[in-house]
Amino acid sequence: MELIFGPSTQKSSKREYDAIIIGAGPAGLTAAIYLARAKLSTLILEKLVPGGLAATTDKIENYPGFPEGIGGEELTSRMEKQAVNFGVDIVLEEVLDVDFLSNPKVIKTSDSEYTGRGIIIATGTSPKSLNVPGEQKFRGKGISYCATCDAPFFQDKEVVVIGCGNSGIQEGIYLKKFAKKITFVEFLPHMTAEKVLQERVRALDNVEFLLNHQVTAFEGEEKLTGVRVKNRETGEEFLIPADGAFVYVGLKPNTDFLKGKIEMDNAGFIKTDEDLKTSIPGVFAAGDVRTTILRQVATAVGDGALAAKLLEEELGG
């Protein structure tokens, strides 16, 4: 997967900004566009690559304005270019610590220290692990969390997709372009993906569904060779021979570095009010990282725009 980076995704000699955004997914990039257009000096800090989880999605069909859908990589690359065109600095450094109580607020990264008058947290989420035997051993050796990234490695192979929500089914449909056979394993007795995705995946050849089944272990020697599952109704356990396994069992917020720094819910998502304000004045949260009932690119973009506008007002813009 080739991501296109703008000219500012490097180092920055500047250390003081009006606004600092942590995270370069759709929420963070949108917020940066709005803030930069308001003539506020704006920095985005991102530990990986711009685009976030959305950039790893093969095709996004429910974002308005693209009747035929658009690749997640292409959409987020356009957002990144737009932010850079308005003068946003995007620096690829991991945030390790924050001091939200100082004035201005201090952000410490793996390489530098930055200050900002206002902060927007838009760190998004990461795929959850199953935490079963063999998962860590075979991570990158047959186990993946991104079909868009790794599907070509499984040309004409048999694979297992774990999870039948939107992500699992959508990525499984993409994976079928490469894999010879796919077995979907779902903990619940039914799929939770949108009906249109369910219809598409059921129309594919050489696809099997094991609903109401639980993965109990990943097996193999040097590489993954099988996924052990248990029928939750009968208790029967059996091994599915597989060259690969793709895990889509939910998302966890990227907030470990904020523990004890800001109010979160029990799952680690950041609590906000209706204006996206957190428990700390001058600090907002936007997108999937906050407590919300829907996590989509469209809602992340809306959050980013709102957080930026309210932060601009708070800074006296």
149 annotated active-site: yes
Residue 158 near residue 142, CB atoms below 8 Å? no
150 annotated active-site: yes
| 89, 150, 243, 288: the active-site residue | 150
- 8 closest CA partner among 75, 116, 86: 86
- Rounded to whole angstroms, the Cα distance separating 178 from 152 reads 6
| 146, 243, 288, 303: the active-site residue | 146
Q: Which residues fall within 8 angstroms of residue 62, CB to CB, at 6 or more apart? A: 296, 297, 298
Q: Angle 309-101-116 (CA atoms, 0-180°, nearest 5)? A: 45
Upstream peptide bond of 104 is cis (omega within 30 degrees of 0) = yes
Structure-token pair, residue 65: 């304005």
Total count of residues recorded for the chain: 317
Radius of gyration (C-alpha) of the chain in whole angstroms: 21
> How far out from the chain centre does Cα 146 lie?
10
Q: Which residues fall within 8 angstroms of residue 13, CB to CB, at 6 or more apart? A: none
Structure-token pair, residue 92: 């690829």
* Catalytic residue IDs: 146, 149-150
